[in-house]
């Protein structure tokens, strides 16, 4: 990202905050991966390793009242919305203090009070849901937007297309994004679609689209800000394709031997944290000492979170029976 | 559009229109989505005049994409609105199956997000609709925890249950029977009322045999009861009205009284609601049974088109009469 552009359009404090969240995400997910390898996490373990700039960038670009519909590579967005590392770890460990009280695992978290729409494993399902949230804002004349995304594989689903189309027809305040990390589980993009750029799909819905370097947090932030402003102004949805690379397997059990080694080497040099550090250095906002200090702070917060999660109770078996139906008091107003 | 203060007889269809109109007037959070529901007023004209009255942001014509607009309803509901979506025909609900069973049904259980929405699903045969305009898909959803299912049989219940569904904090699928739309009429109370979800209704009290049913089949059961009364066989006709949550107490109460049960529905026999109720009766009322539990339901085929085929497929009054005579002999 151009230095001039960044210094003109992103406040120093915002950029430093994003850097902190990049490190917090990496630190938290590294800890989760370690716990998984120790056998302490039962079930799946999905990370955003090497893709942290996407969630951190878009979640930093919106307002407190806005809503996100993230998917499983968006840990940074959950954190920025206020779901704490302790709650995330409790969720992964199946504790009652996690956002789903043990009912669901890993990144399957949501919280309406913090503007996070929980997603389901069926990717792209949450895109129509996001258009509905945006529809509610439009009907009530509120100036709120929704940011909703999926992976490259998710754009093959009908729900992706139904959501894009409906949002465009009704000019709903949604920012759609695709985390194009080149693989859907083991399936490379060339077996997923016959186009090179997912953004081409936007044209079919009469929606503007943009290709963005997904490893550059400043670029993600600025593109998301522009798209959110457009949505807020009543001009309708935008589609952002964040190009990136999945550096780990689909889940931590997957060694991802199907990914060519050279491709991983190439993208290792484009690591979003390294990129952010170079940017901060060039801008004179930070140096090695500062980076180390932030890394330590992030690590400390993760360790405190783990302590919270470790000391949290597991749910009792019979709690399985609770919560099938909602009561009137739980309806959002 | 019908008015809310009519004292003349209104049809089952008009009762549905009235419920929607009154709820929209009462609560500005209520809005409608579906295919052709705006200027056209819907395939069955349930929402005729609504667009003019409530405007295009409360009566939304959607693209032809059931999964998309059901998903949108879920999102709007979570943000505090009360969407009512119309499936043009219940058959098309299969396109939205994933959103209904994976998102709407599970959101509250998983992460505490209430999804107060209604899906109106015009279902049922007898209208020469063929395999894609006659289905009874309630069985698909009967097995999905987190949903409520209702299926009214009279104008009174149609209006009261739709109002209750709209006011319910959960996703409710409202199965309205197409065959009843213009065939059944009644005079309804002038005041605002609801029919509570989860309460069955004994439509005819009798002592000899329970007929447990819902939807259009209620009327078949009542017809059979009239014929059988002349032979001294007294049917207790239980209209389930709500399929989930099932009013087990009313069902058990009826069978404890009569000792005999016929389960009657229009959905296919295998894995239908009758199978579940039969199992419940075997578990809970075994001691009271004086005869075998009998199911009357269509064969396990799609709903056929041609008149003799559809007539063969659908349960008939004679089937109930015959089954009741056999049971009475036990």
Of B83, B110, B114, the CB nearest to A118: B110
Looking at the DSSP assignment, which residues form a beta bridge with residue B28? none
Q: For residue B229, what are its two tokens?
A: 């009364």
Longest dimension (CA), chain B: 61
DSSP structure string for B10-29: EEHHHHHHHHHHHHHHH-TT
Q: Rounded CA gap, A41 and A33, in Å? A: 9
Q: Please tell me what DSSP assigns to residue B90.
A: G
pLDDT band at A222 (very low <50, low <70, confident <90, very high): very high
Query: pTM for the whole thing?
Result: 0.97
d(CA B56, CA B49): 12
Beta strands in chain B (DSSP E): 10-11, 30-34, 59-61, 82-86, 118-123, 148-150, 172-177, 185-186, 201-204, 209-213, 235-239, 242-244, 261-264, 294-296
What's the residue count for chain B? 330
- Give the position of tokens 């370097």: A213
Q: Point out the residue among B72, B110, B146 whose CB comes nearest to the CB of A100.
A: B110
**From CA B18, how far away is CA A288, in angstroms rounded?**
70
Beta strand pairing call for B242-244 and B261-264:
unpaired
φ/ψ of residue B232, rounded to 5? 85, 15
Q: Are strands B118-123 and B82-86 parallel, antiparallel or unpaired?
A: parallel
Find the catalytic residue in B108, B128, B133, B265: B133
Residue B168 distance to chain A (closest CA, Å)? 7
pLDDT in tens, A48-75: 999 999 999 999 999 999 999 999 999 9
Q: Establish whether B108 is a catalytic residue.
A: no
The Cα–Cα gap between A332 and B116 comes to: 9
Write out chain B residues lying below 8 Å of A164, CB-based: none
pLDDT of residue A261: 96
Per-residue DSSP letter, B99:
I
CB A285 within 8 A of CB A13: no
Q: B108 and A324 in contact (C-beta within 8 Å)?
A: yes
Q: What is the dihedral of CA B186, B13, B195, A322, to 10 degrees?
A: 160
What ipTM was reported for this prediction? 0.97
Q: Across the A/B interface, how many CB contacts are shorter than 8 Å?
A: 158
- What is the DSSP annotation of A36-103? HHTT-S-S-----TT-HHHHHHHHHTS-TT-EEE--TT-HHHHHHTT--HHHHHHHHTT-TTSTTTTS
Pairing of β A183-184 and β B59-61: unpaired
Nearest to A162 among B68, B81, B111 (CB): B68
Nearest to A169 by CA among A129, A140, A204, A210: A204
Of the candidates A137, A151, A143, the one whose C-alpha atom is nearest the C-alpha of residue A70 is A151
- Inter-chain CB proximity B31 and A139 less than 8 Å: yes
pLDDT at A266 over 90: yes
- Spatial strand order in the sheet of B209-213: B201-204, B235-239, B209-213, B261-264, B294-296
Tell me how far apart the alpha carbons of residues A63 and A83 are, in angstroms, rounded to a whole number: 16
pLDDT exceeds 80 at position A146? yes
A228 and A66 in contact (C-beta within 8 Å)? yes
Among B303, B309, B311, which Cα is nearest to B136's?
B303
* Bridge partners (DSSP) listed for residue B137: none
Mean pLDDT, chain A, whole residue set: 97
Q: Residue A36: which pLDDT band, with cuts at 50, 70 and 90?
A: very high
Q: Is B1 on the interface with A (CB under 8 A)?
A: no
Q: Are strands B10-11 and B185-186 parallel, antiparallel or unpaired?
A: antiparallel
> Could you tell me the two tokens for A47?
């990370």
CA–CA separation, B303 vs B285, rounded Å? 33
The token duo for B129 is 């609709």
pLDDT at B5: 52
B78 contacts on A by Cβ (under 8 Å): 112, 117, 129, 132-133, 332
pLDDT of residue B201: 98
Residue of A108, A102, A111, A103 whose CA lies nearest to A120: A108
Residue A209: its H or E element: strand A209-213
Contact B70, B85 (CB under 8 A): yes
End-to-end CA, chain A: 41
Write out residues in chain B with pLDDT < 50, as ranges: 1-3
Contact at CB, B74 and A112, closer than 8 angstroms: no
Q: How confident is the model at residue A156 (pLDDT cuts 50, 70, 90)?
A: very high
User: Smallest Cα–Cα separation from A179: which of A52, A315, A312?
Assistant: A52
Tokens of B14: 């008009």
Residues 6+ apart with CB under 8 A from A112: A332, B78, B112, B113
The DSSP bridge pattern shows strands B294-296 and B261-264 to be: parallel
Check whether A131 has a pLDDT greater than 90: yes
Q: Give A263 to chain B, closest Cα distance, Å.
A: 36
Convert the pLDDT of each residue in B149-194 to its tens digit.
Answer: 999 999 999 999 999 999 999 999 999 999 999 999 999 999 999 9
A78-125 pLDDT per residue, tens: 999 999 999 999 999 999 999 999 999 999 999 999 999 999 999 999
Say whether B80 and A332 touch across the interface (CB within 8 A). yes
B78 touches chain A (CB under 8 A): yes
Tallying the residues shown for chain A, one arrives at 333
- What number of CA atoms fall less than 13 Å from residue A125's CA on the CB side? 21
Please name which of B239, B79, B4 lies closest in space to residue A146, comparing C-alpha atoms. B79
Tell me how far apart the alpha carbons of residues B226 and B220 are, in angstroms, rounded to a whole number: 10
B110–A136 C-beta distance less than 8 A: no
How would residue A1 be classed by pLDDT, with cut points 50, 70 and 90? Answer: confident
Residues 6+ apart with CB under 8 A from B148: A325, B165, B168, B170, B171, B172, B173, B197, B198, B242, B244, B245
Q: In chain A, whose CA is at the least distance from the CA of B145?
A: A324
């Amino acid at each position: 990202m151009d230095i001039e552009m960044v210094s003109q359009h992103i406040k120093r404090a915002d950029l430093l905050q994003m850097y902190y969240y990049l490190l917090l995400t990496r630190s938290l997910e590294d800890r989760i991966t370690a716990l998984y390898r120790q056998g302490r996490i039962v079930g799946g373990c999905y990370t955003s390793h090497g893709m942290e700039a996407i969630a951190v960038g878009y979640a930093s670009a919106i307002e407190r009242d806005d809503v996100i519909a993230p998917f499983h590579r968006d840990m940074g967005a959950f954190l920025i919305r206020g779901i704490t590392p302790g709650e995330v770890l409790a969720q992964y460990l199946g504790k009652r203090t996690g956002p789903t009280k043990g009912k669901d695992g890993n990144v399957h978290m949501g919280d309406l009070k913090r503007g996070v729409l929980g997603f389901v494993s069926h990717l792209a399902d949450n895109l129509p849901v996001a258009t509905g949230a945006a529809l509610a804002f439009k009907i009530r004349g509120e100036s709120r937007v929704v940011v909703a995304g999926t992976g490259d594989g998710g754009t093959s689903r009908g729900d992706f297309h139904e959501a894009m189309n409906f949002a465009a027809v009704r000019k709903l305040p949604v920012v759609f994004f695709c985390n194009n990390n080149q693989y859907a589980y083991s399936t490379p993009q060339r077996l997923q679609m016959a186009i090179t750029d997912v953004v081409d799909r936007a044209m079919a819905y009469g929606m503007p689209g943009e290709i963005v370097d997904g490893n550059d947090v400043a670029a993600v932030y600025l593109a998301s800000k522009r798209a959110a402003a457009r949505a807020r102004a009543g001009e309708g949805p935008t589609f952002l394709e964040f190009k990136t690379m999945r550096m780990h397997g689909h889940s931590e059990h997957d060694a991802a031997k199907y990914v060519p080694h050279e491709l991983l080497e190439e993208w290792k040099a484009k690591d979003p944290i390294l990129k952010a550090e170079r940017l901060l250095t060039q801008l004179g906002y930070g140096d090695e000492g500062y980076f180390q200090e932030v890394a330590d702070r992030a690590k400390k917060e993760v360790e405190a979170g783990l302590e919270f999660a470790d000391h949290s109770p597991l749910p009792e078996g019979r709690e399985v029976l609770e919560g099938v139906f909602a009561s009137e008091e739980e309806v959002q107003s | 559009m019908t008015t809310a203060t009519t004292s003349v007889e209104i049809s089952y269809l008009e009762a549905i229109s009235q419920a929607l109109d009154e709820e929209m007037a009462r609560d500005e959070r209520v809005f409608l989505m579906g295919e052709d529901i705006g200027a056209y007023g819907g395939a069955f004209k349930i929402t005729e005049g609504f667009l003019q009255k409530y405007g295009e942001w409360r009566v939304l014509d959607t693209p032809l994409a059931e999964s998309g607009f059901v998903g949108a309803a879920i999102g709007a509901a979570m943000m505090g609105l009360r969407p009512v979506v119309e499936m043009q025909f219940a058959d098309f609900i299969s396109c939205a199956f994933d959103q209904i069973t994976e998102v709407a049904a599970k959101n509250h259980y998983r992460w505490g997000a209430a999804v107060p929405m209604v899906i109106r699903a015009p279902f049922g045969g007898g209208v020469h609709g063929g395999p894609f305009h006659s289905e009874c898909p309630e069985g698909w959803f009967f097995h999905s925890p987190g949903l409520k299912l209702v299926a009214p049989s009279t104008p009174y219940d149609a209006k009261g249950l739709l109002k209750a569904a709209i006011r319910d904090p959960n996703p409710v699928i409202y199965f309205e029977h197409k065959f009843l739309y213009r065939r059944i009429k009644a005079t309804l109370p002038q005041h605002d009322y609801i029919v509570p979800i989860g309460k069955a209704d004994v439509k005819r009290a009798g002592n000899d045999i329970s007929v447990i049913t819902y939807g259009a089949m209620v009327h078949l059961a009542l017809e059979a009861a009239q014929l059988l009364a002349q032979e001294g066989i007294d049917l207790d006709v239980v209209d389930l009205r709500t399929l989930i949550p099932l009013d087990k107490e009313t069902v058990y109460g009826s069978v404890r009284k009569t000792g005999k049960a016929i389960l009657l529905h229009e959905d296919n026999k295998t894995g239908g609601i009758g199978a579940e109720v039969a199992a419940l009766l075997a578990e809970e009322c075994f001691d009271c049974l004086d005869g075998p539990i009998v199911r009357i339901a269509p064969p396990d085929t799609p709903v056929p088109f041609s008149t003799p085929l559809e007539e063969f497929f659908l349960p008939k009054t004679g089937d109930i009469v015959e089954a009741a005579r056999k049971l009475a002999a036990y």
